[in-house]
Amino acid sequence: KREKNPHHHFVRRVGLANWLLDTFVRAVLAVAEASGVLLLLPVVLEGKPIPGAKRGERILGYAEEPCYLWFVMEFCEGGDLNQYVLSRRPDPATNRSFMLQLTSAIAFLHKNHIVHRDLKPDNILITEKSGAPVLKVADFGLSKVCAGLTARGKKGSNENKNVNVNKYWLSSACGSDFYMAPEVWEGHYTAKADIFALGIIIWAMIERITFIDAETKKELLGTYVKQGTEIVPVGEALLENPKMELHIPQKRRTSMSEGIKQLLKDMLAANPQDRPDAFELETRMDQVTCAA
């Protein structure tokens, strides 16, 4: 069946979008009739819930029809971080730019009391409208707004002001295995879990470390630990052995400054208290990338 919308000309269907919590979504690519701008339109089919579906990123507008709800979103033509990085030759300048953008994005989220909880290359989208690639953190379906309770668990009048995301404990073990911090596997963690996930992403991006996803068979950016013939997520391995030393860089030919190497080790510390928070990370990342 062809989707109809009076304000857009449809280009093609782009598959399923895990967009709204417990809601089935079909996404189509469309051109706005008035401006000619290319947009992504997730189409929410009312009354068809599926488990595990998630919420998307930026909404530019919406429209309702019988049985349908259209959300107009920005189309990121650069794809996700996996597609972008793995389809291009290694570029240290691009790596530095992405590292700075990612740390800035997480600092912004944590400043606004939001823990993403599912950071991974699939959820980092790229647009090149301004020439240089710009990263956009997406998919907040598992994110948590740390508001309503203070760090001590008591309700207060200035709820948001009293919240320290690094002391706000969460208990839902969620995320994607290869990017989950050790404490997430245990179900007792804070925003520092986002720092760990970001460390895995940056390390994999710099060294082009990949694994094959068991379900989709896609090649994905992500670091891991080898145990015999199997590969194990770093967080899971650190949970089993907190004193395990991570070999950074993993590849002998990788060019990595001592500053970046140490920062990655700190981001991937088994004890979350030994990791920098998002604001310290932003400052340190600026220093090490400038020195690189």
Higher-confidence residue of 261 and 40: namely: 261
Query: Does pLDDT of 94 surpass 90?
Result: yes
Whether 2 is in a domain gets the answer no
Indicate which CATH number applies to the domain containing 100.
Answer: 1.10.510.10
Q: How does DSSP classify residue 181? A: -
pLDDT at 18: 42
Domain final residue pick, 74, 100, 118: 74
Query: Does pLDDT of 289 surpass 70?
Result: yes
Whether 58 is in a domain gets the answer yes
Cβ contact 220:210 at 8 Å: yes
Mean pLDDT, the chain, whole residue set: 79
Domain final residue pick, 33, 59, 74: 74
Q: How many domains are contained in the chain?
A: 2
Distance CA 106, CA 91 (A): 23
Q: Do residues 113 and 234 share a domain?
A: yes
pLDDT band at 28 (very low <50, low <70, confident <90, very high): very low
Whether 172 is in a domain gets the answer yes
Cβ contact 284:278 at 8 Å: no
Q: Do residues 67 and 145 share a domain?
A: no
Whether 50 is in a domain gets the answer yes
Domain final residue pick, 74, 89, 107: 74
Residues 6+ apart with CB under 8 A from 21: 53, 54, 55, 141
Whether the full predicted model's pTM is greater than 0.75, yes or no, is: yes
pLDDT at 290: 79
Q: Do residues 96 and 213 share a domain?
A: yes
Q: Do residues 284 and 181 share a domain?
A: yes
CA–chain centroid gap for 237, Å, is 21
Q: By percentage, how much of the chain surpasses pLDDT 70?
A: 69
pLDDT at 52: 33
Q: Which of 22, 80, 91, 118 is catalytic?
A: 118
Span 38-84, pLDDT tens digits: 444 444 444 333 333 332 345 555 555 566 555 566 677 888 999 99
Q: Do residues 137 and 265 share a domain?
A: yes
Cβ burial, residue 279 (10 Å; 0-12/13-18/19+): middle
* Helix, strand and coil percent figures for the chain, each rounded to 5: 30, 25, 45
pLDDT at 24: 37
Query: Does pLDDT of 130 surpass 50?
Result: yes
Give the sign of the dihedral formed by CA 195, CA 201, CA 206, CA 211: positive
Whether 254 is in a domain gets the answer yes
Q: Do residues 42 and 85 share a domain?
A: no
pLDDT at 77: 80
Residue 283 CB neighbour total at 10 angstroms: 11
**Could you confirm whether 91 is annotated as catalytic?**
no
- Going by C-alpha positions, the residue among 113, 166, 173, 107 that lies closest to residue 144 is 113
Q: Do residues 91 and 62 share a domain?
A: no
3-state secondary structure of 138: coil
Q: Do residues 102 and 186 share a domain?
A: yes
Please report, as a single letter, which amino acid is at residue 83.
Q
Whether 239 is in a domain gets the answer yes
Span 222-249, pLDDT tens digits: 999 999 999 999 999 999 999 999 999 9
Whether 173 is in a domain gets the answer yes
Whether 1 is in a domain gets the answer no
Q: Do residues 48 and 150 share a domain?
A: no
Render the burial of 200-223: b for 16+ CB within 10 Å, e for the rest: bbbbbbbbebbbebeeeeeebbbb
Q: Do residues 264 and 125 share a domain?
A: yes
pLDDT at 33: 47
Q: Do residues 189 and 48 share a domain?
A: no
Strands (DSSP E) contained in 75-205 are 114-115, 124-127, 134-137, 144-145
Q: Do residues 244 and 277 share a domain?
A: yes
Residues 6+ apart with CB under 8 A from 158: none
Q: Which domain range does residue 210 map to?
A: 81-291
Residues 6+ apart with CB under 8 A from 3: 10, 26, 28, 43, 68
Query: Does pLDDT of 16 surpass 80?
Result: no
